[in-house]
Amino acid sequence: MKLSFGLQAAEATPFKIRHNDSNAVYLLSRQLQSIFLEIPDHRPIVFVCIGTDRSTGDALGPLVGSKLKKYTYSDIFVSGTLDEPVHAVNLGDSLRDVQRDYFNPYIVGVDACLGQLTSVGSVQLGLGPLKPGAGVNKELPPVGDIHLTGIVNVGGFMEYFVLQNTRLSLVMNMADMMAKSIYAALINAKRIAVFAKPSSSPVPRFDQ
């Protein structure tokens, strides 16, 4: 597996890994860390986690947001949780709120998506914004300087119903892996302090 994804690669191929790979958290953390290290300290990193708890497949983003909120008391900046989801109706307002509340934020878009059968269960990290709603024929504003997406089910036919009938177990496991990876990357890039609430599993640490 070639791990050459970086902030300066103008046309970099998205980094992609299975969520249940034994080294998934470590490998995704390294990719995220390499990007976070390039972001000036004065720019806050804000995670806009898109989706709704009314659809199993589309709950991936809010689940990631809620898990990130539990890691620390205040250090991780998140828009979009299970309690306060960011979805098609309020996405524009939520993005305006982020720009109002944070000076020159570096935005990481987080969302579920549909893909090929062989890719279901994979997580992708790519440069540039994600386009929420594309899989269900909705025109929504693009989100993120970079994006992190989880392929939760098969696309191409009746996408709305496919998202509704996605296995909760898969979505929960993917959200857990994505949140752990983000948290580890932020710590190792020295973007948050290590004063997290108690966790059932340790955060991986590694040299830069």
Q: What is the CATH number of the domain that holds 152?
A: 3.40.50.1450
In a domain, 119, yes or no: yes
The DSSP bridge pattern shows strands 45-49 and 106-115 to be parallel
In a domain, 198, yes or no: no
pLDDT band per the 50, 70, 90 thresholds, residue 5? very low
In a domain, 197, yes or no: no
Is 160 a residue whose pLDDT tops 90? no
SS3 48: strand
Q: Which of 176, 157, 155 is nearest to 70 (CA)?
A: 176
Is 205 a residue whose pLDDT tops 90? no
pLDDT of residue 135: 53
Torsion of CA 204, 32, 43, 201, to 10 degrees: -30
Query: What domain count does the chain have?
Result: 1
In a domain, 5, yes or no: no
Q: b vs e for 193-205, b when ≥16 Cβ sit within 10 Å of the residue's Cβ?
A: eeebeeeeeebbe
CA 76 – CA 16 distance, rounded (Å): 24
pLDDT band per the 50, 70, 90 thresholds, residue 195? low
Q: b vs e for 118-130, b when ≥16 Cβ sit within 10 Å of the residue's Cβ?
A: ebbbbbbbbbebb
In a domain, 7, yes or no: no
In a domain, 120, yes or no: yes
The residue range of the domain holding 59 is: 15-188
In a domain, 104, yes or no: yes
In a domain, 53, yes or no: yes
The DSSP bridge pattern shows strands 146-154 and 122-127 to be antiparallel
